[in-house]
Amino acid sequence: MTAVSEQVLIEAALAGQVVSFPTDTVPALAVLPSRAESIFAVKQRSLDKPLILMGATEADLWPFVRSTQRELQIWQGVANRHWPGALTLVLPASAAVPSVINPVDPSTIGIRVPDQAIARRILAQTGPLATTSANLSGEPPLQTMAEISLRFPQVVTLEWAQSEPNPTASGVPSTVAKWTGQSWEILRQGVIQLDSNSKDRGR
């Protein structure tokens, strides 16, 4: 499929199609949360590997999590320090999260705000999208829109000129941290290091 403009990609996403755009880590495959099964099919991905919700702001993502007032204060503090950025927080899921995003454990949801202006512009128009890296399951993440178009011809990709670099992309997946009720368990270490002191634990 020919790469499309930002507005056409937004319209495709709102129509329920799988789309791809750059982020601050690796390019994403993305789709409406209610259509998350489409990404599992496209990637040939096992259902025990959940997707994450990516949003333009943390305020867009909080409705998808379930928290106490104290926990939300802690999470907001972490968001203030590390978002936009390459940090995925795995938190208790609210009823707003379709179970298909995390079929094995629908009680949790990973959320993130990317440090990429184009990605946030798209997400501001579409609302939070279910996302993952752009690759077949078990293969390395693809790094360019051209590679993604070749590998996934059914995916609507953003027009991204080769002469227009993505200087904020690290090429490294995000740090993934799961809230245990009192502190953070690091499920995948990426660029961002969560503080083990009171700043990120709320103590």
Identify which has the larger pLDDT, 163 or 85: 85
CATH number, domain of 54, equals 3.90.870.10
Half-sphere CA count of 85, side-chain side, radius 13 A: 15
Helix (H) or strand (E) holding 85, with range, is: none
Smallest CA-to-CA distance from 155 within 24, 34, 38, 35 is with 38
State how beta strands 175-179 and 87-92 pair. parallel
The 10s digit of each residue's pLDDT in 116-160 is: 999 999 999 999 999 999 999 889 988 888 899 999 999 999 986
What's the domain range around 88? 6-162+171-188
Q: What is the pLDDT of residue 153?
A: 94
Q: How many domains does the chain have?
A: 1
177-186: average pLDDT:
93
φ and ψ at residue 18, rounded to 5 degrees: -80, 130
The 10s digit of each residue's pLDDT in 49-77 is: 899 999 999 999 999 999 999 999 999 99
Q: Which residues pair with 87 in a beta bridge?
A: 175
Residue recorded with tokens 């305020």: 59
2-28: average pLDDT:
93
pLDDT confidence bin for 163, thresholds 50/70/90:
very low
The reported pTM is 0.91
**Residue 139's CB: how many other CB atoms inside 10 A?**
11
The 10s digit of each residue's pLDDT in 104-117 is: 899 999 999 999 99
φ and ψ at residue 82, rounded to 5 degrees: -120, -10
In a domain, 197, yes or no: no
In a domain, 140, yes or no: yes
In a domain, 198, yes or no: no
